[in-house]
Amino acid sequence: MTRQLKLLIGGLVCAIAPYVFFVGITETKRVNGQVVVHESLNIGGVIAAFGAIAIAWTMAMKWETPADKAPHWRIAAAAIAPLGALQLAISLDLVG
């Protein structure tokens, strides 16, 4: 298994795992039985999102062999980085 393939798998796990596992805080406030405030902070998701973004950066910019410079690894990194950014926004409860 090559270094870039390991980074790809690690980046995808970091970007997708917080959708399955929640490690954080949730608060819901009700008034007369109606939910008026629902807040959540997924600390594990924030950490994993930064990990996914860092892995995408490593895949795109740091090479050890000439094979690491292949365009398909940059495309994979370009797919992982937005997933990490989206995960960061969701974990901070900025996006529904």
Residue 96 lies in a domain: no
Residue 76 lies in a domain: yes
Lowest average pLDDT, out of 40-44, 78-82, 92-96, goes to 92-96
Mean pLDDT of 14-33: 89
Residue 16 lies in a domain: yes
Whether the pLDDT of residue 96 is over 70: the answer is no
Burial of 18 (0-12, 13-18, 19+ CB in 10 A): buried
Between CA 39 and CA 25 the distance in angstroms is 8
Range of the domain at 27: 3-91
Domain count, the chain: 1
The neighbour count for residue 59, using CB atoms within 10 Å, is 24
Q: What is the pLDDT, as a whole number, of residue 47?
A: 94
pLDDT in tens, 52-72: 999 999 888 887 778 777 888
Q: Say which DSSP state 64 is in.
A: S
Q: CA nearest 6: which of 59, 75, 50, 46?
A: 59
